[in-house]
Amino acid sequence: MTPDESILEDFIATRLAADPAHDIEHVRRVVTNARRIALAEGADLDVVLPAAWLHDCVCLPKNHPERYLASRQAARMATEYLQAFGLSQDRLEAIAHAIEAHSFSAGIQARTLEARVVQDADRLDALGAIGISRCLLTGGAIQRALYSGEDPFCTVREPDDNRFCIDHFYRKLFTVAGTLHTRSARQEASNRIAFMQAYLQQLGHEIGQQAP
């Protein structure tokens, strides 16, 4: 039997690392996104929701050398935790796959609709107003400068998000929409990216350099 969502929330709240971009509010937003996309796409909520709640039960810092392994570790931990609720092996495997495939850095192909939904839900949280906020929170936490004073919008150089927060827009965030699987997620991503582009235009105005 799938555990109540309040039980899953209580569990994940004890597992989150001190990462401002992967806190309990991030998890709640991913669950909200996943529920909405699953309902629109006809995915199995009994797989999607546990996976969305538990997807970050192991979460390593952005600059950790083994970050790409975190989603696999999270899938194993979630499976061990959920076994106590008597879920079938097929359901446990479906949830585990959705968790391991959600991570951008893991590079695991989402083979099921439910995994695609959870992956899309997590990636949407990297876009829009929330995406900008998370990018700047993470960059500040690992001591990245906000932008390059010489070329803030990467017009004549390759983006270097190891040095500048805004470069992460060009290195990764603007590519996220192209990786989304579901139509409902792509529609939402389009709106969020438009907001991010408007933010860059305003930033350019304020620093006296025009954004492309």
pLDDT digits (tens, 9 = 90+) for 24-44: 999 999 999 999 999 999 999
Please state the rounded mean pLDDT for residues 180-185.
97
Answer whether 0.85 is exceeded by the pTM: yes
Choose the CATH number for 1-113 among 1.20.200.10, 3.40.50.2300, 2.60.40.1180, 1.10.472.50.
1.10.472.50
Dihedral sign, Cα of residue 9, residue 55, residue 17, residue 132: negative
Q: How confident is the model at residue 60 (pLDDT cuts 50, 70, 90)?
A: low
pLDDT computed for residue 89 by the predictor: 96
Identical fold at 1-113 and 126-212? no
CATH of segment(s) 126-212: 1.20.58.1910
Parse the chain into domains and list their residue ranges: 1-113, 126-212
